[in-house]
Amino acid sequence: MVRLKDIAERAGVSIMTVSKVLRDAPDISGATKSRVRALAQEMGYVPHALAAGLRTRATRLLGLVIPGIINPVYARLIMAIEDRAFELGFELFLAHTLEKPEREELVLRRLLARRVEGLFVIPVARLGDTPGIYAELIRLNIPTVVLGLAPRFCDRFSRVANDEVGASREITQHLLGLGHRRIAFLAGPTVSPSAQARLEGYRRGLRDAGVEFDDRLIFQCGSTVEDGFQAGLELVRESLGVTALQGVNDLVAIGALNGLLSQGVRVPEDVSIAGFGNILSAENARVPLTTVREPKFRLGIAAMEIMHKLLQGGPPEQRVLRAELLPRRSTAAPAVNTLI
């Protein structure tokens, strides 16, 4: 590949001059500039960002470490971060932990060896003390932004998270506001911290409204369409007087909707359905819906904002983003109140 040196020789000037021209330094004559630029273009010069970075000690490299992107929730997050990073002139490494601590450590070490200037991390959930690699991040003073609900040991890092409890409560309040009093909750696996947060939001919503909590209305139903479907069938069988339904995510909600419909339950007159929109984004799930939108995209933007400040020497910062309620768009189809 063409180097500054090659251009310099053909132009009859020094390497330094070429370097300055290509960075548009102020102390080079217009004549030289245009001559050298033309030559660089003609010779197909491609700058060598790594070499430049070695010299300037600024790599403009960031790393994004996530469990895996089977979960499309991350898509919007990645998208937002990449987009802002790009605008700021950073390149983004993508790496997966697959939820394995050893892999997480390996991945982070490799990114450190690449001299990333900052890291976005969704840590592998684990109990106990600060893992060595995280201690390392602190020791090296690597700007790090933790995304989402995080283990205790992340307290010293910057963090952005959605207010999942608040968002779920808002859904519950919405359903209560529509007059529903018997709201079934499809709870998902309890190990998931976010599922727990959503259930907690449901509890608080009821409590705030003085509605009694009835644990027969809580269905431990997993998190898939099929799980939701089964819960829907069960719901019909049990005759608990349920008039509304809140799912831990949108798949469960859709499954339950199918389950209810398959049993001849009329919707939406009889039942309102709500759930977090993990899989179906607002654009994709264009069912008419009252949406409580969880700000996944804004989450990414906020994360990059914090990173930007950290890179400029700012202090760690923690933010919790609130969800927002969007109005229902139409009533043509069954109402699925989805919390994106």
The answer to whether residue 100 forms part of the interface with a copy of itself (CB under 8 A) is no
Among 192, 230, 243, 318, binds a copy of itself (CB under 8 A): 230
Q: How far is CA 229 from the centre of its chain?
A: 27
Kindly tell me which of 87 and 215 has the beta carbon lying closer to a copy of itself.
Answer: 87
Tokens of 278: 């993990």
The answer to whether residue 153 forms part of the interface with a copy of itself (CB under 8 A) is no
Binding interface with DNA (CB under 7 A): 1, 3-5, 12-17, 19-20, 22-23, 27-29, 31-32, 47-48, 51-52, 54-57
Backbone conformation region of residue 313, classed left if phi is above 0, alpha if psi is from -120 to 50, else beta: left
Minimal distance in Å, beta carbon 10 to DNA?
13
Cα distance between residue 320 and residue 270, in whole Å: 35
Cα distance between residue 310 and residue 287, in whole Å: 40
Query: For the purposes of burial, counting CB atoms within 10 Å of the CB of 59, is it exposed (0-12), middle (13-18) or buried (19 or more)?
Result: middle
Torsion of CA 242, 224, 76, 127, to 10 degrees: 100
Minimal distance in Å, beta carbon 177 to DNA?
59
Torsion of CA 204, 208, 214, 218, to 10 degrees: -30
Q: Which does 294 bind (CB under 5 to 8 A by kind): a copy of itself, DNA, none?
A: none
Among 30, 128, 264, 315, binds a copy of itself (CB under 8 A): 264
Among 286, 314, 320, 322, binds a copy of itself (CB under 8 A): 286
Q: Which does 236 bind (CB under 5 to 8 A by kind): DNA, a copy of itself, none?
A: none
Interacting residues with a copy of itself between 123 and 152 (CB under 8 A): 136, 139-140
Q: Which does 17 bind (CB under 5 to 8 A by kind): DNA, a copy of itself, none?
A: DNA
**Residues in the chain, total:** 340
